[in-house]
Structure 1
Amino acid sequence: MTSVHAGRDISVDIIRGIAIILVVLGHSNRGQMETMAIAPANLQFLDFIVYAVHMPVFFFVSGYFTFVSLSKRKKSIFLRSRISNIVWPYCLWSIIYCFVGHVMSSLTHVHHMVAWHQILLIGWQPI
């Protein structure tokens, strides 16, 4: 049963919401497991289930929206929108993250220092 409200498929929003909850649960669970010397089997099983489900759900939803977007507009317009909405913010955030990491390292101990040359590698080695 699919609910559509003003042209929006609410069932996809529900699926995304469940996947987001699974991400939060997965990160919380991993944080809990890291504080223990030996994680109980039930937390390890939960970790396996959550990480086996939430990323495939995001890929499925992303593929669905990519298909819908490509069917509505030209590929060149779609590509330009992906660059302006995904690539540009990703590059900007990586530069800001690297800069702030260097500033903070002069003030405190940084767990993982990011070298400036890593900015050039963000296409295949994300920070």
Structure 2
Amino acid sequence: PNGVMGSNIFHIWFYRLHNVVAANLEKINPCWDDNKIFYTTREILIAGYLQIYYYQFLPLLFGMERLIKDGVISKHKGYRDVYDEKIIPQMSDEYSYVLRWFHIAQEATLELYDENYKCFKTFPMVNLTPEQHTSLKMTMKPR
């Protein structure tokens, strides 16, 4: 997969990082049960992921000055609390539409090769659905 390899690797790193952080939390806090370790690790990784997303990825796309001006991120380093209990915590439709746009804008064609390294089929991964995935498996030659 050409275009989605980076994002897939990034998510695999976070899955593996979850196990590393959980193992360290278990060493530090032997009295914690599995649920406490899991959810604490989850919160730590979500915070790290959002830090990368908001302060490293989005500034590359939109510019740091623009994000600060629009109040998306802070110009001050460190902890910031802008939580408002009156706002219902939910994702706006615009956010999911924009993420879908990034998904369809990337080059993502799966190329299938035979044992002689000759491409015998290409498949657009952007439109991949479970039904297409099943049919793709059926068309591949067994080894």
TM exceeds 0.5? no
TM-score computed with the length of structure 2 as normaliser: 0.30
TM-score computed with the length of structure 1 as normaliser: 0.33
Structure richer in helix, relative to its length: 1
Q: Which of structures 1 and 2 has the larger relative contact order (alpha carbons within 8 angstroms, sep 6+)?
A: 2
Structure richer in strand, relative to its length: 2
